[in-house]
Structure 1
Amino acid sequence: MAQPKALLIRSPGTNCDLETAYAFEQSGAVADRIHLNRILEKPEILNDYQILALSGGFSYGDDISAGRIVGSLFRHHLMDAVEQFHDDGKLILGICNGFQILIKTGLLLADDERGLPASTLAWNDCQMFQDRWVNLKTSGSKCVFLKDIDQMYLPVAHAEGRFMARDEATLDALEAGQQLCLTYTADRDGEDSVSFPDNPNGAQRHVAGVCDETGRIFGLMPHPERYIDRTHHPRWTRGEGNSPGDGLKLFQNAVEYFA
């Protein structure tokens, strides 16, 4: 497939869909932004796409908790269609609020036999919204979106981003399965001695992003779409930053997966 199509689902409060669409377009994909209501009316729209993306923002104002309303709509009305989308070998990406939605749906990490979630994204340890740039490192080779990426420098902007697993056994299993594939570090050398603000939310094992068992569903709290050009770097006028920005490779990997 020469040019895969990315579907960006938006809902009231979504505010990063334009940037995410632009990142996919710069990577060679066709990107369409479609309101969640249209997907609820006609789930078969998913059949026309190879990548499903849930962008950052505050869907439905995060009034109950971040991502819960969209997550509930997915669970009750779209699970069959989205699970078929995944079974067909396609890709699903959730950024920030999109990550929160994927956690709430159980698509990313399946519920246990009792229906209890494997993990959640809780309020930041500092009990405050965090808007800052962070260093990140990858681990394992399972996640499609992180192919050939060792480290990144990206911004975060969230209040509910603290990854917490149900128990230590769940954490150990996820780590052994290479699903805890993106973590916060203290510097670009991957220093493991991490504390606030390098880990901006207090996530267990400094987790910033998680993939499913196939590596084709990926959720992360940092915003790769906000650093796809050197001029997006906060200190680019001082000569810092990469060209292209660190986030672009993630979108290129998604597109190249279908090349």
Structure 2
Amino acid sequence: MKFGVLVFPGSNCDRDILWVTQGLLNQPTRMIWHEESDLSDIDVVVVPGGFSYGDYLRCGAIARFSPVMRATIDHAKAGKLVLGICNGFQVLTEAGLLPGALVRNRDLHFICDRVPVRVERTDLPWTQGYESGQVIELPIAHGEGSYYADPDTLKALEDNGQVLFRYSDATGNITTEGNPNGSLNNIAGICNQQGNVLGMMPHPERASDQALGQVDGLALFEGILKAVPTLV
């Protein structure tokens, strides 16, 4: 199985992904420059965190027009896996691969912290390595990470079970105090209806190496390894 990590001007988490997929999991991984358009050799596309194109205009708004994102949309439409983390989540919403938008944090401050996140369902590749309702701890680092959607979209997400991760307290309770950025319904990560596209603000790649003292994110990547042979 082969991972492809997109690289935009301003990406700064691309090497973190590379370390997990290639360094820890021994999977072939290709760094894909934003001007490329051929993803035919890739099984899983990862849109990493950072500040694509300097986040000018709006986070992810310029990246959506890149050749590599047009190819990523085709990749997703073919049923292959796409993972967007932090700025990558913002890019996926701007590109229309996921509904809603990421807006300024509730307190208008950049947040860099480790937070509890509750896993909502475990029947998809992304979360099959966890237990339903399990609380994991993942790093966050964003200024525009508050998830917003109109009421109809929000209801559809909940009705369809598209919320995969939700901010919580340490015991899994969904509370205002456990919501670091003001996301509606404490949403930390969602998927599309098909389940093959995931966007999340927390950083699983920064919690995958024992050397960092956190490994709660590693199960996400290990779940992908188990699932992909049946999808491609």
TM-score, normalisation: structure 1: 0.82
Partner of 1:200: 180
Tell me which of 6, 9, 24 is aligned to 1:9. Answer: 6
CA distance in 1, matches of 2:76, 2:160: 19
Q: Structure 2 stretches of 5 or more lacking a match?
A: none
Deviation of the 1:231 alpha carbon: 3.2
CA distance in 1, matches of 2:129, 2:13: 25
Contact 1:24 1:252 in 2 (8 A): no
Contact 1:6 1:52 in 2 (8 A): yes
Partner of 2:211: 231
Amino acid at match of 2:33: H
- Secondary structure of 1:53's partner? strand
Q: Is the aligned partner of 1:46 residue 2:28?
A: no
Once the two structures are superposed, residues 132-154 of structure 1 have per-residue CA deviations (whole angstroms, 9 ceiling, x without a partner) of 00000111245421113233201
- Secondary structure of 2:20's partner? helix
- Secondary structure of 2:163's partner? coil
Partner of 1:136: 117
CA distance in 2, matches of 1:170, 1:32: 35
Q: Structure 1 stretches of 5 or more lacking a match?
A: 110-118, 234-240
Deviation of the 1:86 alpha carbon: 2.1
Partner of 1:148: 129
Amino acid at match of 2:126: F
CA distance in 1, matches of 2:26, 2:227: 12
Contact 1:161 1:221 in 2 (8 A): yes
Amino acid at match of 1:130: I
- Secondary structure of 2:10's partner? coil
- Secondary structure of 2:39's partner? helix
* Cα distance, 1:34–1:139 mapped onto 2, change above 3 Å: same
Deviation of the 1:34 alpha carbon: 1.8
- Secondary structure of 1:257's partner? helix
CA RMSD of aligned residues (A): 1.6
Q: Is the aligned partner of 1:163 residue 2:143?
A: no
Once the two structures are superposed, residues 102-137 of structure 1 have per-residue CA deviations (whole angstroms, 9 ceiling, x without a partner) of 01000123xxxxxxxxx1100001101000000001
Amino acid at match of 2:58: S
Contact 2:191 2:197 in 1 (8 A): yes
Deviation of the 1:49 alpha carbon: 0.6
Q: Which runs of 4+ in 1 moved over 6 A?
A: none
Amino acid at match of 1:172: K
Deviation of the 1:199 alpha carbon: 1.6
CA distance in 2, matches of 1:148, 1:194: 27
Amino acid at match of 1:10: V
The aligned runs of 1:53-132 (5 Å cut-off) are: 53-73=46-66, 78-79=69-70, 81-109=71-99, 119-132=100-113
Deviation of the 1:257 alpha carbon: 1.2
CA distance in 2, matches of 1:222, 1:254: 17
Contact 2:129 2:222 in 1 (8 A): no
- Secondary structure of 1:121's partner? strand
Q: Is the aligned partner of 1:31 residue 2:13?
A: no
Contact 1:182 1:208 in 2 (8 A): yes
Question: Which structure would you say has the larger Rg?
Answer: 1
Amino acid at match of 2:31: R
**Equivalenced residues, count:** 225
Partner of 1:190: 172
